[in-house]
């Protein structure tokens, strides 16, 4: 057997630890997203992840706040490069406000269809601000800071007549609308108006276009 095909006890142990940590993070994300960040016991997360005992979670994270932070960091590592890469790609072509918004926020919408993440990831991020108090808002700010600074810098150029401070506030509203809107997209089938055809399966492309229309209108609305 070649050296490249062997693994030491230490490397196998490290892999096992990583696997356990990843399972804990994914189950924490799923349970927090579906039940609320303060409604799920740490013991339940451990049981769902099949980690065996509560000490596994404390070993990796310490407490509830640390678990929430780690899940947010995991999602940041996934989302931020995708968003920034799409924004950077705009430099190679002429683009408008709609292009910039789709580059910045499109990956969040795309994540809905991604196995292992999907609606749970979107709902988790949305809950940070409204379900975990001021601490959750700080965590959300860290998750989005680089992205929001870059999209703001681009839109300042594209919308020179809009005060930068007002643009920042509109971007915050856009981000909140994004997470709330796509987290509960099925609500269109149970709305006060009754079932809307736009919410049916197969209409995702049109639904996305209409949602981006809504976001663009909010950003560009004249003073």
Residues 62-73, mean pLDDT to the nearest whole number: 90
Residues 167-192, mean pLDDT to the nearest whole number: 89
Question: Does residue 14 surpass a pLDDT of 50?
Answer: no
- Which helix (H) or strand (E) segment holds residue 21: the answer is helix 9-35
- Residue 50's pLDDT is what? 75
- Residue 82's pLDDT is what? 96
CA distances from 18 to 12, 23, 29, 58 (A): 10, 9, 16, 14
Confidence of residue 9 (pLDDT cuts 50, 70, 90): very low
Question: Does residue 1 surpass a pLDDT of 60?
Answer: no
Residues 157-186, mean pLDDT to the nearest whole number: 91
pLDDT in tens, 135-153: 999 999 999 999 999 999 9
Dist. CA 85–CA 89, nearest whole Å: 6
What percent of the chain clears pLDDT 90, i.e. is strictly above it? Answer: 54
pLDDT in tens, 112-136: 888 888 889 999 999 998 888 899 9
- Residue 15's pLDDT is what? 39
pTM of the predicted structure, to 2 decimals = 0.84
Q: Which of 205, 181, 108, 208 is nearest to 148 (CA)?
A: 108
One DSSP character per residue, 48-115 reads HHT--SHHHHHHHT-SHHHHHHHHHHHHHHHHHHHHHHHHHHGGGS---HHHHHHHHHHHHHHGGGST
């Amino acid at each position: 057997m070649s050296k490249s095909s062997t693994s030491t006890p230490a490397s196998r142990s490290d892999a096992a630890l990583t696997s356990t940590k990843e399972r804990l993070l994914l189950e924490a994300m799923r349970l927090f997203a579906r039940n609320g960040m303060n409604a799920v016991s740490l013991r339940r997360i451990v049981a769902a992840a099949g980690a065996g005992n509560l000490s596994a979670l404390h070993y990796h994270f310490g407490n509830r706040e640390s678990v929430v932070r780690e899940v947010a960091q995991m999602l940041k590592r996934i989302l931020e490069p995708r968003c920034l890469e799409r924004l950077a790609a705009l430099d190679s072509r002429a683009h408008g406000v709609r292009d910039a918004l789709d580059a910045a926020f499109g990956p969040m919408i795309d994540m809905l269809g991604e196995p292992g993440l999907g609606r749970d990831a979107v709902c988790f991020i949305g809950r940070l601000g409204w379900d975990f108090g001021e601490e959750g808002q700080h965590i959300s700010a860290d998750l989005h800071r680089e992205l929001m600074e870059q999209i703001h810098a681009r839109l300042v150029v594209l919308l020179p007549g809009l005060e930068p401070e007002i643009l920042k506030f509109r971007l915050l509203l856009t981000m909140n609308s994004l997470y709330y809107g796509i987290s509960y997209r099925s609500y269109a089938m149970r709305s006060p108006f009754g079932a809307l055809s736009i919410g049916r399966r197969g209409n995702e492309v049109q639904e996305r276009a209409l949602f981006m229309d809504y976001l663009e209108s909010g950003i560009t609305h004249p003073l």
